[in-house]
Amino acid sequence: MDIANPSEEHAMLREMVRNWTNEFVEPQALEHDRDEKFNLDLLRSMGELGLLGISAPEEFGGAGLDATACAIVHEELSASDPGFALAYLAHSMLFVNNLAFNGSEEQKARILPKVCSGEWIGAMAMSEPDAGTDVLGLSSTAVLQDDGTWCLNGRKMWITNGCIDETGTPADVVWVYAKTGVDEKGRVQMSTFLVEAGTEGYAVGQKIYDKTGMRASNTAELVFDNCMIPAHNLVGQPGQSLLHMMANLEIERLTLAAMALGIARRSLDDMNRYATERTAFKSQIRDFGQMQRYIGESWAKYRSMRAYIYDTANSMTLGTPGHRLDSDGVKLFATTAAKEIADAAMQVMGGYGYVGEYTVERLWRDSKLLEIGGGTLESHQKNITRDLSKDPEAINR
């Protein structure tokens, strides 16, 4: 069995996404990275392929596919344009998948068809100017009003798809986490809200420029200023945000790792081809031991990433927590390995690898964010160590 294509359906999905990526994503990748511009129309068009709601139920316009399918799409997109893939992840995983598994039936019926078709573009807002990994340190607040509405105030930072164009148009709908008080034990109570474009007090603070990588996705600051959220846009019950976060973080980390795999595969492919085409001292440079080390070690890392990522994907049940040890593990290993493989490709390709016209320079820049976003390397190290202390037999199973 091919672990990365465990069924005929998965293999067909991979072929379809790879062909579509080669035809539509690859030609625009360099330009949109150089201009720091998000290709909104291209992302919307993925709704026609059934990919924007890849994990959402078919009854709401989704494809109803599994974690392996999610990983396949992110890998294939990232082998061409990781920045665009990140925008796709923010929409399909951070918003659509979250809503599909945590939203009410009314919320799903009202919103999922719009985000699955591409009519609406979604985002998830958790990080703030002064808080990221420390979720309980968030300062955004939502206060329940006498009429049942919630008054949301706060600023969210580093939000992918926070704005969807160059004029500062905010995302059509955002999944927002905010403090709503403390529980009976004095612990911070976090609640989840759906904020729709047009809601008074919801605006883009700024689009963030001059990022090292992932420039083809828009990153923004979002501002919520006395933003009145109707009662039906509260997700679940007050205080349930951590439940929503835990299950969705696992698929987020898996798909970020799959993005790293796409970066690694493309970097390895480019360096291998270049090592054959380029000659020095009357030999192909692949004949030199130094080049063989870069290529050989990159191959081993790539194959290790692939096996671990798809083994984790095949065992993951979407919407159900309990896979943290390996969702953290694949992201911890794969993101750094991708950066190392892209770096090796640049070294093999020399000056050609260092300029923007060649893909590996962009892949190298894009890879760094994967060690930060969706959980830092340090948070994964902490989680894995904690989980192994609670379940040491995981090592021997």
Catalytic residue annotation = 252
Residues 6+ apart with CB under 8 A from 26: 80, 81
Tokens 């049942």 correspond to 148
The DSSP secondary-structure symbol of 222 reads E
Specify which residues 234 forms β-bridges with: 193
- 3-state SS class at 124: strand
Q: How buried is residue 353: exposed, middle or buried, by Cβ count under 10 Å (0-12/13-18/19+)?
A: buried
The DSSP secondary-structure symbol of 92 reads I
Amino acid at 279: T
Tokens 């933003």 correspond to 227
Q: How buried is residue 59: exposed, middle or buried, by Cβ count under 10 Å (0-12/13-18/19+)?
A: exposed
Q: What is the DSSP string of 149-214?
A: -EEEEEEEEEEETSB-STT-PBPSEEEEEEEEEE-TTSPEEEEEEEEETT-TTEEEEEE----SS-
- Is the distance from CB of 114 to CB of 52 less than 8 angstroms? no
Alpha helices in the chain, H assignment, sequence order: 8-20, 26-34, 40-45, 67-78, 82-89, 98-102, 105-117, 241-277, 289-315, 324-349, 351-354, 359-369, 377-390
Structure token digits, residue 323: 């896979």
